[in-house]
Amino acid sequence: MQDGTRAGLVRPPVESPYLRPRRLRRTPALRELVAETTLRAGQLVLPVFVREGADAPVPISSMPGVVQHTRDSLRAAAVEAAELGLGGIMLFGVPTSKDAVGSGAVDPDGVLNAAIADVAAEVGDALPVMADLCLDEFTDHGHCGVLDTAGRVDNDATLEVYAEMARAQAAAGAAVLGPSGMMDGQVAVIRDALDGVGATDVAIMAYSAKYASAFYGPFREAVDSSLVGDRRTYQQDARNALEGVREAQLDVAEGADLVMVKPALAYLDVVRRVRDAVDVPVAAYNISGEYAMVEAAAANGWIDREAAIMETLVSIRRAGADVVLTYWAAEAARLLR
């Protein structure tokens, strides 16, 4: 039996394809011309940690390349972020002492509020200064709110502290507040608190769809977390997508200027659903565990690190995020140049 025949059948000649999508992939310039998703420095926000009393940056072992900053090194990082054209810098505080009600969070001289003032004075309006508005870094039990007598997070008592925290962060110079505690009604209470002191220009980027995730592990090292138990009674169940959309819609109704999905990579479907459901900008947080996985694989030579970073960030943008919080923000901005 000759080639091209089997059981008496003759294979028809292959016709030359008329439609050739590969034409537009042939050169880098053509690929750039038809790229559907953009990635630029101004869409990226750099999360940073500042450690109270530190006299040198402290490396975070589970997040290679990320440190707990001193106040001086934080100012330098903020200047670099502004020069790179980043969309913002998100500050997290690491205090030396904690208590049951997170009193350091509302102290004007506490590590986070002092850092906000430092960075705002350093960069002015050249870089939006954003602040995490949550109690978990400041409580000795590690929860995002105050506890009742039964050891449960008390939603409404926590809201009172959030309002005070919002006023303190606005007074320190924050341009954007990021309430991340997933307390019901938090956006409305924070908006009222801000407006009540004349801080009507301070924006709220609500952590609207924040899921109870296994990928937060390295972050807990980054903030020296004291968490006892878990946060499943207030953070969202990973099995629920519609709930994430509803949370985002509620936050928009309460006055959120931006809404966020966190984590990003395991919840790209939620990012897309939220983007389709709301009429405000949508952020997504490329979190510590996602960062650590890429860094670990790259360190073992299993993947091309820089290519993986850019592919990861593009995927989050492609899913619908207008803003991406990522520990690679500064490096990605340099690569984009």
Taking only Cα atoms into account, the Rg of the chain, rounded to an integer number of angstroms, comes to: 23
Is 216 within any annotated ligand binding site?
Answer: no
98 is catalytic: no
334 is in an annotated binding site: no
3/320 Cα distance (integer angstroms)? 50
Task: Tell me if 337 is assigned to a ligand binding site.
Answer: no
CA dihedral 131, 129, 106, 233 (to 10 degrees): -10
Active-site hit among 98, 143, 210, 273? 210
Q: Is the peptide bond before 263 cis (omega within 30 degrees of 0)?
A: yes
220 is in an annotated binding site: yes
On whether the CB atoms of residues 285 and 264 are closer than 8 A, the answer is yes
Q: Is 327 annotated as a binding residue?
A: yes
Catalytic residue among 71, 98, 262, 275: 262
Looking up tokens 């990861």, which residue turns up? 312
For residue 301, what are the contacts with CB-CB under 8 A and spacing of at least 6?
none
**Residue 282: C-alpha distances to residues 124, 201, 203, 204, 260 (Å):** 24, 19, 14, 12, 6
Give the separation between CA 305 and CA 314, rounded to whole angstroms: 14
* Residues labelled as active-site residues: 210, 262
Q: Which residues are annotated as a binding site for 5-aminolevulinate?
A: 220, 231, 288, 327
Q: Which residues are annotated as a binding site?
A: 220, 231, 247, 288, 327
Q: Which residues are annotated as a binding site for Mg(2+)?
A: 247
